[in-house]
Amino acid sequence: MTETYDYIIIGAGSAGCVLANRLSEDPATKVLVLEYGGSDKSIFIQMPTALSIPMNGTKYNWKYMTLPEPGLGGRQVHCPRGKVIGGSSSINGLVYMRGHASDFDEWEALGARGWRYANCLPYFQRAESWQDGGDAYRGASGPLATNAGNKMKNPLYKAFVDAGHEAGYITTEDPNGHMQEGFGPMHMTVKDGVRWSTANAYLKPAMSRPNLTVITHAMTRRVILDGKRAVGAEYELGGGQRIVAKATGEVLISSGPIGSPHLLQRSGIGPAALLQKAGVAVLHDLPGVGENLQDHSEVYIQYACKEPITLNGKMGLLSKAMIGAEWLLFKKGLSVSNHFESGGFIRSDASLQWPDIQFHFLPAAMRYDGKKPLDGHGFMVLTGPNKPKSRGYVRLRSPEAHEQPDILINYLDREEDREGFRRCLRLTREIIAQPAFDRFRGEEIAPGKDVRSNDEIDAWVRETMESTYHPCGSCRMGEDAMAVVDSDLKVRGVEGLRVIDSSVFPAEPNANLNAPTIMLAERASDIVRGKPLLAASNAAVGIASGIGVTQRSGTPLRTLQH
């Protein structure tokens, strides 16, 4: 069977849904979306507080696991990726954080021409509908609804922000606006109490268009090349039925930081020696495909709480049933939040020009996967170095689409990353020790007060560190020999083929990745269509005091000493 389209989009995730909507705005353009996952109608996807369920199951999650990680004593780490319309935006923690302006200027410095902050900001705004309306930084009428959850009603959220200020840091009213650095609220992708994934925001509103075809449960086996031009895709439906879809325009891969390099490699595009070893004919030798993989990682620093006000008191079956019923009936209450409602961004060293540590604060002591809650009341800080230096890879094992590739993040491969975690722990302890927490702070549960020396901290991090679920960089944008795509996201040396998702990020932004991935797809949709790009923003960027002089970003300014 053969079908013909102008554009074929492979993957209906955070980027693919955006592309499907924007490209099909032109009724003369025929668009096909291929997605291996299925419907997102589950209550566990749509209810924000239930995020740990789809994230840790297999129905909506590829459930990738890394190879044994040398830096973690051989532990394998879970790397969840969405297997459903909306992709990872349908199973993630719903956090909406864009990154620091300097992150995108860094992209341009690394060879991603045109991707500096001033060029990206207008696309963040175009994508967004912020609860308080638009301004020079926020969008007011975009498809993606963002808000501040329950606006820090639990007093522990404000205690964390106040403690950061008492520790010598500044506060910020909007980390997605003028000033990222400092302590303040965190934002999330929720609308009227419902998870606002890219499936809800972009794909579903476009699916009534006659020029948009979405095929679910379709495994794309390979991109079809005619010489050095992509001309279509071969995909497989249930029962082994194989179909070829032709593209008269372009094939756009949006399968994510694991799926996109794996698909390129299965299609004969990648490092020649790797492809030959796996039994794949080399159609285009591109050595960077699958390399440069990086990820944020974090530890859970937990404390007992002296007052019975934490979410640990809501873990029983009756409490969960009542929370669920309130969501079903009214879309209100604890169910409408991801519970990461305050946080912070700081610099770990006086020499740094922008933040490299992120804090997620949670008024509960538990795990991100929902397991092992504290028997009693507690709270925790999730933190890790946000500009990792370690690099890994995604490498196919065989031509078989259903066989997961080898994934190695190489966590803690670099001393800079190990030192980053030491600083994260010590700085967190200083913050929680501030007077704002005196009425709440009990004993330190994890790692425990006896973990003090570098060796003790390193051992604890190796044993307990987890992914923050932000892999990227495996199809890096740039101009050097190891770059996979150019600044227009075209695969280097192949016509009619682009990669558009977080795999093209040259480096990790200092934030969660859903927001910058959506921004990237918004801007890419204009590039693909040949439309004039939105004018660069001249909005000022907030710069904290003490840059290059002190580690603290507020007053009193103090140098960090240990």
Per the annotation, does 92 bind a ligand?
Answer: yes
Per the annotation, does 61 bind a ligand?
Answer: no
Per the annotation, does 84 bind a ligand?
Answer: yes
Are 145 and 196 in contact by the 8 Å Cβ rule? The answer is yes
Distance CA 324, CA 329 (A): 9
Written as six digits, the tokens of 432 are 């929680």
Per the annotation, does 338 bind a ligand?
Answer: no
Q: Give the HSE-up count for residue 67: Cα atoms under 13 Å, Cβ half-sphere.
A: 14
DSSP result, 350-400: TT-SS--EEEEEESS-S-TTS-S--SS-EEEEEEEESS----EEEE-SSS-
562 belongs to the catalytic site: no
Sign of CA dihedral 279, 280, 284, 286: negative
Sign of CA dihedral 90, 91, 95, 100: negative
Per the annotation, does 280 bind a ligand?
Answer: no
Written as six digits, the tokens of 97 are 């954080």
Q: Looking at 165, 339, 470, 562, which residue is catalytic?
A: 470
**End-to-end alpha-carbon separation of the chain, Å?**
67
Sign of CA dihedral 475, 479, 481, 485: positive
Are 130 and 321 in contact by the 8 Å Cβ rule? The answer is no
What count of residues does the chain have? 562
Distance CA 177, CA 119 (A): 15
Give binding residues as ranges. Answer: 84, 92-95
User: Catalytic positions, please?
Assistant: 470
